[in-house]
Amino acid sequence: MAASAGDVEVVDFEPDDDDLMDEDAAAHADASPTATAPKLRSAVTGGASSFAFGETRKTKGRGFREDAGPDQGSRLAARDFDSLDSDGGPGPQRCVFTVEGWIVLVTGVHEEAQEDDVHNAFREFGQVKNLHLNLNRRTGFVKGYALIEYENFKEAQDAITMLNGTELLTQTIYVDWAFSKGPIRRRNMGRSITVSIIGQLQYAVSEYED
Amino acid sequence: MAGSSGEQDEFYLRYYVGHKGKFGHEFLEFEFRPDGKLRYANNSNYKNDTMIRKEVFVTPAVLRECRRIIADSEIMKEDDNNWPEPDRVGRQELEIVMGNEHISFTTSKIGSLVDVQSSKDPEGLRIFYYLVQDLKCFVFSLISLHFKIKPIQS
């Protein structure tokens, strides 16, 4: 188990990964960013045409001026991320590992809430398998959100339906699903991706016309 | 619900902390993308360990809460000009796009509040220090709940 000496980098990236954040950005790699766009390899500014705010965005920080950090561009670029199977459609995602579970996110939690307060409110709809009520690391009070796991869909859906917008410890809480099966599709995003794909197709078609 | 004015704005968050040493490039990195994909990577070659990569789609509710945590911290008003530069001990990167503002801060690792207090910008660095902890809490909870990671029961 000799540790590798000095500079050898022993990380398991696929050798043919590009310096791109991921496969989505690959299609837009040729779209040159505006002259003032920062040198970042993230999906947001990698030239992806769906995010057309580059020209008007204020930028700040050393990250725009310096060389990229180690392996930047490849750290999150590899394709072999673990994820749980889904059919890619919209809607809440079930958590399947060895035991099934459904996770809801609660926001607007009062900062003095105790775990018991949250547990008591949510146990009405089913057994709470897991409860994360994270603290604000600076103040020691509750950060303001909680993550709750139920065993089945109906229990979680009932909790969402019945508790969303209600009051807990004099403060309004909002309850919703935490995970979904696929990407959020916003109207703007969809439209501009379509435009760019059509543009490319037209170009490709015209190349073959003769 | 508060924050709806920011609904149509772009949102992106990436955090990295790591160093290179005897056990390779050891790092932790996570990323919230505008389409809701949360990606998490943790790498070390300590005892020939390999990389852990997880990804999952989160809902707009989760992104909203992430934005709230960031907005409350007021990190977007800060600047890393006077923060310590990354060094051999390690490096941290925080990149956030919120609305029409885009920050990309880099600094060295922060061991404790002593490092914060003795820096040239204790106020700003303190905000960064606590925000990073809060974001890690959030991400670790999401990842461990979704992938059902539980401590070993004896």
What is the interface pTM, i.e. ipTM, of the complex? 0.90
- Read off the pLDDT of each residue in B92-101 and give the average, rounded to a whole number: 96
Cβ neighbours of A188 in B, within 8 Å: 8
Contacts of B93 in chain A (CB under 8 A): 63, 69
Q: Which amino acid is at B64?
A: R
Mean pLDDT to the nearest integer, B78-93: 96
- Collect all residues of chain B within an 8 Å Cβ-Cβ radius of residue A59: 102-104
User: What is the distance of C-alpha A50 from the center of its chain?
Assistant: 17
Q: For residue B14, list chain A residues with Cβ-Cβ distance below 8 A.
A: 42, 76
User: Does A105 reach chain B within 8 Å, measured CB to CB?
Assistant: yes
pLDDT band at B152 (very low <50, low <70, confident <90, very high): low
pTM over 0.80: no
Q: Residue A188: its pLDDT value, please? A: 54
3-state helix, strand, coil in chain B (%, to 5): 35, 35, 30
Which residues in chain A are closer than 8 Å to B61, comparing Cβ atoms?
105, 107, 174, 176-178
Would you say residue A202 has pLDDT above 90? no
| Closest CA in chain B for residue A57 | B100
Q: What's residue A85's pLDDT? A: 56
Say whether residue A136 is in contact with chain B using an 8 A CB cutoff.
yes
Which amino acid would we find at residue A44? V
Give me chain A's average pLDDT, please: 69
pLDDT at B64 over 50: yes
Instruction: Name the residue among A11, A51, A75 with its Cβ closest to that of B24.
Output: A11
Q: In Å, what is the CA distance from A197 to each residue of A25, A50, A184, B111?
A: 13, 11, 19, 47
* pLDDT over threshold 60, residue B33: yes
CA B61 to CA B79: how far, in whole Å?
A: 28
How far apart are alpha carbons B53 and B60 in whole angstroms?
A: 22
In the beta sheet, which residues pair with residue B90?
B87
- Nearest CA to CA, how far is B32 from chain A (Å)? 11
The alpha-carbon gap from A167 to the nearest alpha carbon of chain B, in Å, equals: 14
Do residue B59 and residue A105 have CB atoms under 8 angstroms apart? yes
Domains parsed from chain B with CATH numbers = 11-147 (3.30.1560.10)
When pLDDT is averaged across residues A128-136 and rounded to a whole number, the result is: 96
N- to C-terminal Cα distance for chain A? Answer: 63
CA–CA distance, A13 with A181 (Å, rounded to integer): 26
Q: Name the one residue in this structure whose structure tokens are 């603290």.
A: A135
Distance (Å) from the alpha carbon of A185 to chain B's nearest alpha carbon: 7
Neighbours of B126 (CB within 10 A): 17
CA distance A96 to A8: 38
Report residue B107 as tokens: 């600094």
Closest by Cα among B38, B55, B69, B141 to A130: B141
Residues A128, A148: contact at Cβ < 8 Å? Answer: yes
Establish, for the pair of chains A and B, how many residue pairs have beta carbons separated by less than 8 Å.
213
Residue with tokens 């993230």: A42
Tokens of A125: 């709809």
What is the rounded distance in angstroms from the CA atom of residue B103 to the CA atom of residue B95? Answer: 6
More confident residue, A160 or A200: A160
Determine, for residues A42 and B47 on separate chains, whether the beta-carbon distance falls below 8 Å: no
Instruction: Report which DSSP code applies to A16.
Output: T
Contact A12 B50 (CB under 8 A): yes
A34: pLDDT strictly greater than 70: no
B71 to chain A, closest Cα gap in Å: 13
- 3 state DSSP class of B28: strand
Instruction: Please classify residue B58 by burial: count the beta carbons closer than 10 Å to its beta carbon, then call 0-12 exposed, 13-18 middle and 19+ buried.
Output: buried
Which pLDDT score is estimated for A148?
97
A203 touching B, CB under 8 A?
no
